[in-house]
Amino acid sequence: MVTAGIVCAAACTVDREPPNLVGQDVRLTFIHTSDIHSRLFPYNFVPNRFEREGGLVQANAPFGGVARMATIAHDIRDSSNRSLWIDSGDCFQGAPVFNMFKGEAEMRALTTAGMDAAVIGNHEFDLGSTNLFEQIDNWAGYRLLAANYLFEDPPNPDQRSLRDVVRPYAVFDADGLKVGVIGMANWSSMTGIFEGGNSLGIRPLKDDVVLRQYVALLRPTVDVLVVVSHLGLDEDEGLTAADVIDENEALPLEGVDVILGGHLHIITNPPKIIPNADGGQTVLVHSGAFAKFVGRLDVVVRVGDDNSDPARRSRVTSFSYDSIPVDSRVPDDPEVADVLWPYSVAINRELDLDGVFGYVATSGEAKITRNDLSGGDSQLGNLVARSMQTRSGVEAEFALTNSLGIRADFEQGPLTVEQMFNVFPFENSITVMYLSGSEVQETLDFVARKSSERGCRTQAQVSGIWFDMVCRGACPDTNPDDGFTPTACAKNLYLGENCRVDMDGDGIGEPDAPIDTQKCRPVVPTALYRVAVNDYIARGGSGFEVLKRNTSKQDTGVGLRDALTVFLRKQAQCAPEAIDVTDTQVPQRTIVERFGPIPCFGDVLEQHEGRIRPVFE
């Protein structure tokens, strides 16, 4: 049975007759945010090319912060008579404030900032359904939406739960303009939905069926119909909108005017225009992640006289979009800043985010990157995997982690605790398991297939194992009855160190060279191997089904962030004469003078060496 969720914007509280807008062109402004990931306070990072093109300039650091976002939202509202602030989910997880306060600070800050509605993201469930319910029930002053979840009855019939605080949709009255907002929540990234016993207490409903149902319900009664979505398969803020698969485009969009999307961590500027079968079109917008931008979508609505008739209903006739950088030029909203102040004090008392524990001493203007230009293994990926493999108590034969779990590069200069949170915004830990050689082959075949869909850019990082990632070629057909001939697979799987042939005699194998079979041993299908992976892919995240099926896994509880920090602390200390290239004094001080005796790491530490070699046969 369909249930209705009705809310009113501030405009509908005015005691007067609503204006008759039929036949008029009316402007409506959407303030759009998404994937805030607990970036409630400004933080430092180096913007990538896409972010610089969008207006994030290093000179205007630090970036982000909800108090600044609130200022931008208020400025937008001041310039528009009709506006709604809609968020596309994942406000939880990604910074220490979430670890300490479990979502309370996020809900309170966004409520004070004036958000109107948000769809539930997958990371909202990171501490379970009960925690999410408690945070919403105690602190949320905006609507939480999810039309494609069926909430199971709690064990105690009198007990309140998520089904009491989450609605499938909301309807807003923006000074006579009726706006329906349907929430399409994420389930593809939530392995707990499909596990035995379903610890989350929700069941996913078919997206296309649900959307048709609620469009049929709402379209006759509203002038603008919006889908706020956290659907999606992959996310990578370093890619363009054309590089990722957006599940929203496959939805039945007849009658839908606007999609405000999330989960993909991308910006669509200009927005995508999706034609649909009723002769209309849907405007699709993504506004980035980690509180770096606030999206502003202005639409002009020609108000019709009968929204139940497709020929006479209201329609969006034009639009404009801008993504506004959240940087130091934007002042804090004082009310939101006051709410956040006690949380900031508590965090600074517990963590020294500015504390320097190492120095990235790369040559020239180089940095330690998470992605290599070759598309294969990267230096930072190699560092992460090595720190997992060699961690005390782990000692695996090889390690594997998903590339998208590593979210930032190591910039040249001092390495701080805050930068480690930028690299690992999520609380992933090391899981140990035993895989047969056949399971290793199947897992790396999956990596090759997934990578081939992303321009042959590896979607995994490894240590202790070497293979050719064939993105196009002749691959064994292990299931000839499925009618599908694979063209991507992993070949030449070997275990060991420095496994590529040394072509120039310098003692180091070349990344493009074949395997040196005298130094490394092949993966044997019937053998058993001790493997370190992260807990997310161990549960089947990002499609790692082989790891999900494995019954030998054991979560060590050791965080990837902690493992890498320990590994880096063990590196050789900086030379006494080494100059800190980031020092602004004249003359520049040495690293030791400025930060004390700390380790240095540069170009050669776990450098790109062809552990994963992209191949086109």
The structural domains of the chain, with segments of one domain joined by +, span 24-346, 352-616
Task: Tell the CATH superfamily of the 24-346 domain.
Answer: Metallo-dependent phosphatases (3.60.21.10)
Listed in sequence order, the DSSP H helices in 79-206 are 96-101, 104-113, 129-139
Q: CA-to-CA distance for 167 and 147, rounded, in angstroms?
A: 7
Pairing of strands 612-616, 465-472: parallel
pLDDT in tens, 377-427: 999 999 999 999 999 999 999 999 999 999 999 999 999 999 999 999 889
Q: CA-to-CA distance for 278 and 580, rounded, in angstroms?
A: 62
Q: CA-to-CA distance for 70 and 265, rounded, in angstroms?
A: 20
DSSP helix/strand/coil, 399: strand
Q: Which two tokens stand for residue 505?
A: 């005699």
> According to the model, what pLDDT value does residue 299 have?
98
> According to the model, what pLDDT value does residue 279 have?
80
> According to the model, what pLDDT value does residue 199 have?
58
Residues of the chain with pLDDT under 50: 1-13, 192-198
**For the CA atoms of the chain, what is the radius of gyration?**
26
Q: CA-to-CA distance for 121 and 389, rounded, in angstroms?
A: 31
> According to the model, what pLDDT value does residue 28 have?
98
- In angstroms, the Cα distances linking 462 to 294, 512, 551, 552 are 36, 17, 22, 20
- My answer on whether omega of the bond before 168 falls inside 30° of 0, hence cis, is no
Q: What string of DSSP letters covers 120-143?
A: PPGGGGTT-HHHHHHHHHHH--SE
- In angstroms, the Cα distances linking 281 to 225, 229, 257, 425 are 12, 17, 7, 36
CB 615 within 8 A of CB 473: yes
Scan for tokens 């997310």, then name that residue. 536
> According to the model, what pLDDT value does residue 289 have?
95
- The conformational region for residue 241 under phi > 0 = left, psi -120 to 50 = alpha, else beta, is alpha
Query: How much of the chain is helix, strand and coil, in % rounded to 5?
Result: 25, 25, 45
Residues β-bridged to residue 495: 465, 521
Helix 104-113 × helix 334-350 angle, to 10°: 160
| Closest C-alpha among 166, 207, 201, 169 to residue 188 | 207
> According to the model, what pLDDT value does residue 244 have?
79
Amino acid at 213: Q
As its CATH architecture, domain 352-616 has: Alpha-Beta Complex (3.90)
Q: Which residues contact 439 (CB under 8 A, 6 or more apart)?
A: 546, 550
Q: CA-to-CA distance for 555 and 538, rounded, in angstroms?
A: 9
CB 304 within 8 A of CB 108: no
> According to the model, what pLDDT value does residue 191 have?
55
